[in-house]
Structure 1
């Protein structure tokens, strides 16, 4: 999860951190040309979409864990192939071809390990440091999103207010407060809005 030295802040990502994310995406693009790279990218995209939808950073953490697990499987598979080719290298007359396959398997395992390192340094580290900001405002946002006030009292619109006097409306709101249908704060908000018109 989050290291002790990584402090969660509710500030926007700096341009350097946003550049790291862009570099990670650019490094991820070549792997998308192979079918193998599409699957972990889909997990990351799904994690980002779910985080944006629910405002919960744990979706990114889960997507990154799945991404790493997928790459660890690739490392183990490539490593097993490399081990197989290394042990049968001297037993075969085709040692040159098996040596090439050994090198290719080792390179694939190394590339998968590099992608795990890239994920940690270029993707997760900047996002974890700003988890609260990312949850609330998004990754590339520089300004705080203004939350929609769901408690705002909806009073009669301007056109309809002309047919009623402000005093009549205040009496209606006072009655609602007395009967316990609205709170004192809602009454005060409605009164303030009515008197400002």
Structure 2
């Protein structure tokens, strides 16, 4: 559970995986697994919880395994039933195509593990809190989601009076969005600047 950003090599692996997924999106079968991963990434970013990525990859694998199973069943059906009747009249293209689909599904299962999940899993804390393609941490925020007392800048204070700002901070404290200590720090800074 590393809190360090992904290296450029790890970010490149993820980009290669995304580029490898693009051709499958043109087929209906490839849109659904891509949506699983996109939704998992969105939810992880929204909730700062890496388990959304793990769930998305699990759903991706289940869907691809299902596609693999269907392709394998079709190949077996063709080889045993259809192929037995017309073995000498057909060239076996359907059988080869179904085996190719099964092979592609296996490759995508390996790719999602090696190029997507592995780089992210070694940086779960960083990815959950800061994102995949960033090397700078987010600003530390206070309990109520407000940036560290930096929101009280001289330029922004010109349009508001100190009293107005104190009323806003008191309301935040009263509603439970900030702690007593955070309110006192903000009040101290406001009174020093006022």
TM-score above 0.5 = yes
Q: How many residues were matched structurally?
A: 173
Take 2:25 and 2:111, find their aligned partners in 1: how far apart are those partners? 15
Q: 1:62 to 1:96 in 2, by over 3 A?
A: farther
Unaligned runs of 5+ in 2: 171-178
Q: Deviations over 1:103-125 (max 9, x none)?
A: 11111101001000000000000
Q: Show the counterpart of 1:135.
A: 128
Among 35, 45, 52, the residue aligned to 1:52: 45
Among 13, 23, 35, the residue aligned to 1:20: 13
Offset, 1:43: 1.0
Q: Deviations over 1:134-162 (max 9, x none)?
A: 0000000110000332376798x55524x
Q: Show the counterpart of 2:74.
A: 81
Take 1:122 and 1:67, find their aligned partners in 2: how far apart are those partners? 14
Q: Show the counterpart of 1:160.
A: 161
Q: Is the 2:71–2:102 contact (alpha carbons within 8 Å) kept by the matching residues of 1?
A: yes
Q: Show the counterpart of 1:187.
A: 184
Q: Is the 1:85–1:98 contact (alpha carbons within 8 Å) kept by the matching residues of 2?
A: no
Take 2:181 and 2:67, find their aligned partners in 1: how far apart are those partners? 62
Give TM-score, length-normalised by structure 2: 0.78
Unaligned runs of 5+ in 1: 1-7, 164-168, 174-181
Offset, 1:185: 6.5
Secondary structure of 2:92's aligned partner = helix
Report the structure number with the largest CA radius of gyration. Answer: 1
Q: How does 1:34-183 map to 2 (within 5 A)?
A: 34-88=27-81, 91-95=84-88, 97=90, 99-149=92-142, 150=144, 157=157, 160-161=161-162, 183=180
**Which stretch of structure 1 is more off in the superposition, 69-78 or 97-106?**
97-106
Take 2:64 and 2:33, find their aligned partners in 1: how far apart are those partners? 8
Take 1:31 and 1:188, find their aligned partners in 2: how far apart are those partners? 54
Take 1:145 and 1:185, find their aligned partners in 2: how far apart are those partners? 19
Take 1:184 and 1:32, find their aligned partners in 2: how far apart are those partners? 52
Q: Show the counterpart of 1:176.
A: none
Question: Does residue 29 in structure 1 map to residue 26 in structure 2?
Answer: no
